[in-house]
Amino acid sequence: MIRALRTGTFHLGMGLLSLLWLAPILWVVIMSTRTFDDIAANGVGSLPHSFTLDTYSQAWTDGGELRALINSMLVTVPSVALSLVLAALAAFALSRYRIPGRRTILLLMLAGNLLPPQILLIPVSKFSELTGTFDTLYALIAVQVGFGLGFYTFVLHGFMRDLPNEIQEAATIDGAGPGQIFARVILPLTRPALAALGALSFTWIFNDLLWAITVLRTDDNMPVTPALLALQGQFVSSWNVIAAGTVIAAVPTLLVFLRFQRHFVSGLAIGAVK
């Protein structure tokens, strides 16, 4: 009896809290389907009196979200792939071989990732001007890879170090070199960690604002996050279009999250128990 009551209180309390937590998101989704006249007449806080999906086409084409989404993918996919490949190579050599100074190198790489990015903004923007990559997606990819590498290497190192030694020894006896051992033995075993980091870094890079507005200038080059801010200036008080733009910008990371939920969460937790 008391137990049933406690279970009931738990579900009631958590149910309400969950609803409260999701309410802002639901509100924006609802708002994206209201007409401008409805919002003008009843205010943004009111319940909907209309339904339309024109807002999405407005945000998509007039608001430039299509272009922005393409830019985001052009930056995010290569950045994730490149960082993971480079980090895996470094982690492999540092964890499976006696590289002189390997601990120092690893900690230095991690420390680089812990630096506040503010100290890098001005030099990085100047450096991209110097190399002629300023205002190109290449600059953004390069800085995303450079800045993320330390953390990815650190996590993959921890993972690879714990793999059993015997398989590698067997491969060595069979005459495999480090390159083959990496590609055929260690990398396949590292897949869970790679999936976790991949899901995580996808959202980090896709959601980034600061680096994008530091190395990019032209609106046509902007990824989704800064484009969403620009949309606000362009559609002042068209709250339904801004809401539709917000929903569009949230969908890719939400999809990655739903698809890789388990990896995503374990990836975040890597930080906790490391």
Partner 1 sequence: MTSVDERVLAAQPPAPANTRPRRRRGKPLSPLLVAFVLVPFAVESIWVFWPALQGFWFSLTRWDGLEPPTYIGFDNYAELAGDATFRGALINTVLWLVLFGGLSVIGGFGMALILQRERRGVGFYRAALFTPVVFSLVVTALVWRVFYQPDGVADELLRAVGLEHLIRPWLADPETALYAVILPALWRQIGYVMVLYLAGLKAIDPALHEAAKMDGANNWQRLRNVTIPQLKGVNAVVLSVIVIDSLRSFDIVWSLTKGGPYHSSELLSTYMYSTAFQSLRLGYASAIAVVIFVLALAVILGYLVRAFREDA
Question: Using CB under 8 A, which residues numbered 54 to 83 contact partner 1?
Answer: none
Binding marks (x or -) toward partner 1, 81..120, rule CB under 8 A?
Answer: -----xx-xx-xxxxxxxxx-xx-xxxxx--xxxxxxxxx
Residues in the chain: 274
Cβ-Cβ contacts under 8 Å for 80 (sequence gap 6 or more): 198, 201, 202, 205
Cβ-Cβ contacts under 8 Å for 76 (sequence gap 6 or more): 202, 205, 206, 223
Q: Minimum distance between the CB of residue 54 and partner 1, rounded to whole angstroms?
A: 19
Give the one residue of 127, 136, 138, 234 binding partner 1; rule: CB under 8 A. Answer: 127
Amino acid at 146: G
Give the one residue of 74, 158, 187, 234 binding partner 1; rule: CB under 8 A. Answer: 158
Rounded Cα gap, residues 65 and 55, in angstroms: 12
Rounded Cα gap, residues 142 and 132, in angstroms: 13
Interface with partner 1 includes 8 (CB under 8 A)? no
Cβ-Cβ contacts under 8 Å for 140 (sequence gap 6 or more): 75, 79, 211, 212, 215, 216, 223
Size of the site for partner 1 (CB under 8 A): 113
Q: Minimum distance between the CB of residue 209 and partner 1, rounded to whole angstroms?
A: 5
Footprint (CB under 8 A) of partner 1, residues 194-223: 196, 203, 206-210, 213-214
Q: Minimum distance between the CB of residue 6 and partner 1, rounded to whole angstroms?
A: 11
Nearer to partner 1, 1 or 173 (CB): 173
65, 248 Cβ separation under 8 angstroms? yes
Nearer to partner 1, 52 or 186 (CB): 186
Interface with partner 1 includes 133 (CB under 8 A)? no
